[in-house]
Amino acid sequence: MVDTEVDLESEQYEKHREAGEILAQVREETVERIEVGASHLEVAEYAEDRIRELGGQPAFPVNVSIDEEAAHATPGIEDDSTFGEEMINIDIGVAVDGWLADSAITIDLSGNPDLAEAPGAALDAAIELIEPGVDTAEIGAAIEEAIDGYGFNPVVNLTGHGLGHWEQHTDPSIPNRAVPQGTELEVGDVVAIEPFATDGSGKVSEGSAEEIFALEREGSVRNRQTRQVLEQITEEFRTLPFATRWLESSRPKMALRRLKSQDIVHGYPVLKEDDGCLVSQKEHTVIVTPDGCEVTTR
C-alpha cells in the first residue's frame, strides 16, 4: 500500500536535499576540470575535498571510470594516470549525517557523442514515469527502450537502487532493462536511477583491480596498525565505502589484506564491460512525492 503520510519536510528529507545540492555543485565544478592530460587523482581528490568544504562527506570514493570500466574505479594512493581521448564516467556520492545523494555523468573525449547521450535520454524517460505506485519493471523497460533507440545496449547486470541511512545500496532495485516483475515505488522512497549504455553486449564482470572497500562486520584484530585502521573505518566511514588512499596508515594495503582475510571488510573490484567496449552512464537521485518525484541532484 502506498503510504501518503510520509513527512517529506522532515529532517531526513531535508538532509537528502542538502546532500543533493552539494553534489550538484561539486559535479559541475569537477566536470570543468576534466580535460586531456588532467590527473585522475587530482580530479577525484578535488571533488572529495569540495564535498567536505561544503558541509558533507563523500558517500563513497569518487569513481573515475574510463572506456570499458563501468563502476568501482577510483585512483590509488600514488596513481599518476591522466585523462586521454576517452569515455569518462564520474560517479559522486554525498552524505549529510548519513543521508545520501548519488549522481553520475559521462564526459566524452572519445568522439562518441551518441553513446554519451543515450543514458541521459534513458534517465529522462525514467524520471518522467516516477510516481507512487509505478512498477520498477516499467521504469526498466523505458530505460531499455531509450538506449535501444540510440542503437546501443543497456548494461543489464547493473541497476539503480534505493538510498538508506548510511547505506549506499538498499531496496528497491531499479532495473536498466525490461523485467517480468518489479516493485511498486511509494511516497518517500529515495532512489538513484542509474542507466548505463554500451556498444558491447551489455554485461559487466569483475576485474582484478580493487581500491574501494567497506566494512562487512564488527571484529577485533591483534596487529596495532591494523587495529588503528579498523577504528578509523568504524568511526569515520561506518558502513559507507572508502578508498585505500583515505586511510591514515603507513601501510594501508597490508592492513586491508588482514581485515579482508578475516572478512571484516570486503572489496569492490572494478567492473568492466565483458567485450571491452565503451560504457556511458548518467544518474540522478530522486525522492518519490505524492504527485511524481523531486530530483535532488540537478
**Residues annotated as binding site for a divalent metal cation?**
91, 102, 161, 194, 283
Q: Dihedral angle at the C-alpha atoms of 154, 155, 158, 160, nearest 10 degrees?
A: -20
Q: Which of 169, 186, 216, 294 is catalytic?
A: 169
Q: Which residues contribute to the annotated binding site?
A: 72, 91, 102, 161, 169, 194, 283
> Hey, is 53 helix, strand or coil?
helix
| Residue linked to cell 516516477 | 130
Quick check: is 5 catalytic? no
Residue 150: CB atoms within 10 Å: 18
Q: Which of 48, 68, 69, 102 is catalytic?
A: 102
Quick check: is 169 catalytic? yes
Quick check: is 35 catalytic? no
Q: Which of 189, 194, 199, 211 is catalytic?
A: 194
Contacts of 79 by beta carbon, 8 Å cutoff, 6+ apart: 40, 41
| Strand ranges across the sheet with 271-273 | 69-71, 271-273, 204-206
Contact between residue 204 and residue 277 where contact means Cβ atoms under 8 Å apart: no
Cis amide leading into 172 (omega within 30)? yes
Contact between residue 279 and residue 246 where contact means Cβ atoms under 8 Å apart: no
Q: Which residues contribute to the annotated binding site for substrate?
A: 72, 169
Burial of 207 (0-12, 13-18, 19+ CB in 10 A): middle
Q: Which of 68, 91, 144, 189 is catalytic?
A: 91
112 — phi, psi (to 5°)?
-125, 65
Quick check: is 80 catalytic? no
Q: Which of 21, 69, 273, 283 is catalytic?
A: 283
Quick check: is 161 catalytic? yes
Quick check: is 16 catalytic? no
Q: Are strands 190-193 and 271-273 parallel, antiparallel or unpaired?
A: unpaired
CA–CA gap between residue 272 and residue 89 (Å, rounded): 12
Query: What amino acid positions are annotated as catalytic residues?
Result: 91, 102, 161, 169, 194, 283
